[in-house]
Chains A and B, each alone.
Chain A
């Protein structure tokens, strides 16, 4: 059994490519659970980060520093009454949240967390991601229409108009990135793994390629993806101060939580497109510089820089663990805080344990790419939160103007210039 597992793990392809259904199924479960877990963590992280930007503390009561708050919230949502408004189209109303979560998770089929850490590798990967993620607009319209209420209807209409118009600019810059994969080989690829490998072989993240074309394309994508996921400052479909809660006004409990889950999964999905296309996917910064050769018996043989980078995931975990332990040490020594302090200590020790596991050579080699991919996505997640704390909300016509009159021409220009430069070089 163990032999089978290790034997499988040393294969250089994704389970989808290998046609290994069992492993593909395991990967799917791991990815779905991982994404849901990250969404829970993100829920906590967003509230904390937002709170600290706004001179508040955020959740503090449920668990140490509110760490258990997302679980409490999830529990609350699951036990809430499930309300279907009178006059709502029951079938569509209950289908919409399921459909949106299915589309949100389907996208992760092709997300390459590493060279072999993807469920499958499609030769139309990018196209698949864009196509499936834009299906979510259908679900939003379904939700808004089926609610039989004015606010959701307006939210749904706004959302459909917004997503359609931003998808155009998004598609154009994605094409420009795909073109960049063809520079040396004359054979471009739409495969997500292929795109990252092209960046590895060209020793360039596409954000720096044909400077500043890659950068501009990236910025356009970064703006369009915020609009695509309905996040501030483009959160018109759920504009709280105007449309109460937009398309999910009439939803409650579990169905509502599915919408939330889908929104955050969508954020991770579009961030992973951006990371894959422009930020080198799972490649670490300066991936082609290995440093001087060093040899540590039974442990390492290769570049010093590679060695240092391979220690980073574990070091990060240790740092987080230290953070928690110091936090626990600084807790007031009162009876009331005893459980909290103990919880924080256990949490820190758990992180430390994970760090130790990450230090073991077989694990360490395999989590490298996952670590870098996740770290890059984390940066995007932080940006999403930062936007939300900083910007007011666009008005609908202004949003459309930015999409059609600013981003679209820029995207088109970048596309044409990339084509010209690509042919000339």
Chain B
């Protein structure tokens, strides 16, 4: 546009408003920066600017041994650290071709599913807060505390747990862990009902989420969406069923799916997933086998030359690790496929034509963690 054009414009001519949302904004879940192009309150387009939390995790991997890199992956999706560790361990185990003992596998399932619950609770609290409901945040964090206590007792850390090791688990279940986890399951189910009481049939909640950020199943697949955003669009794809890993094929659970692909369905899917997770945990605890928890893995791990891609169903979607080994002590290259990063690219499509308030709702419903997006 030339300058002369610009001068002719008057105050009354409608102009797009460029609104810079973030990186310091209450509801961008960390340091996401979204540049919004607005017509009044209507969103014409968005552009995500990421990288404010970039720590070069993938590059760090190239200078660490395989075992040394293990704790670093916890720092990517820090609300679901256990899942990150599981994915990495599985990838390295596949690389060195080690079979993990059954007891370790079950322990891993228990921890991972507990972590899924914790992650979904963080999501629910912050998502509801974005939409303006304050109270669920405190309810979910109160209950998440119980999970973190179990983590702390198990491996000494609450958030960045480093719970698993390559080849199994470092720690045996502490005394009374089984009972504690079962008690927690009994404790949590009514609490999930409590969250639902506040939101599921709440008229304002339904109006704010139904028909917001709709994405069809085909579009979701084309965008590479995984996890709850994909399943809410009606695609029944869950890696725990599709490519069972870590003994998931031995458990009886369902994959909840939605139909409309909107924010409300994603909410329902995640709530249903929490119930399924409880179901899995119960089975895993009840059938926890005896035996060793660690396979024989050399201290100086030197995998054969080769490459491997292993993906798991993290709470936020498909978390994949692509590891290239050149036969040395350190990986030649580690590439992470973070679910948040891939899911985030659907933001533009989901909010186009909707209102500013929907942008925060959609950012919330995509359940992104910036540590994972930027790595």
Contacts and interface: CB of A to CB of B under 8 A. Distances in A.
B25 interface: yes
Interface in A391-406: 391-398
A54 B135 contact: yes
Interface in B179-208: 198-199, 202, 204-205, 207-208
Given A242-B357, A390-B135, A396-B357, 13 more contacts: A54-B134, A54-B137, A54-B138, A55-B142, A239-B132, A239-B357, A240-B26, A241-B131, A242-B356, A242-B360, A392-B208, A395-B358, A398-B208
Interface string A368-412: 000000000000000000001111111111100000000000000
Given A239-B357, A390-B135, A395 B207 contact: yes
Contact of A241 (B20, B27, B41): B27
B355 A396 contact: yes
Contacts of B202: 391-392
B130 interface: yes
Interface residues of B, number: 32
Interface in B327-364: 355-360
Given A393-B204, A396-B355, A55 B360 contact: no
A56 B134 CA distance: 12
Interface of A: 50, 53-56, 150-151, 154, 158, 232-233, 235-236, 239-244, 388-398
Contacts of A389: 134-135
Interface of B: 17, 19-20, 25-27, 41, 128-135, 137-139, 142, 198-199, 202, 204-205, 207-208, 355-360
25 contacts: A50-B134, A54-B135, A55-B142, A151-B19, A154-B41, A158-B41, A232-B132, A239-B132, A242-B27, A243-B356, A388-B134, A391-B132, A391-B202, A392-B131, A392-B132, A392-B204, A393-B132, A393-B133, A393-B208, A393-B357, A394-B204, A397-B355, A398-B204, A398-B207, A398-B208
Nearest to B357: A395
B138 A394 contact: no
Contacts of B356: 154, 242-243, 396
Contacts of B27: 240-242
- Considering the complex of A and B, which 4 residue pairs feature the smallest CB-CB distances, nearest first? A393-B132, A241-B27, A54-B138, A392-B133
Given A233-B204, A242-B357, A393 B135 contact: no
Nearest to B204: A392
A241 B133 contact: no
B198 A395 contact: no
Contact of A392 (B41, B128, B138): B128
Nearest to B209: A392
B133 A391 contact: yes
Nearest to A236: B357
Interface centre among A242, A243, A392, A397 (most CB of B within 10 A): A392
Contacts of A398: 204, 207-208
B25 to A, nearest CB: 6
Contacts of B360: 241-242
Contacts of A154: 19, 41, 356
A406 to B, nearest CB: 11
B205 A392 contact: yes
B166 to A, nearest CB: 40
Contacts of B128: 392
A150 B17 contact: yes
A397 B357 CA distance: 10
B357 A56 contact: no
B41 A391 contact: no
Contact of A395 (B26, B139, B208): B208
A393 B131 contact: yes
B15 to A, nearest CB: 12
B138 A56 contact: yes
A213 B135 CA distance: 34
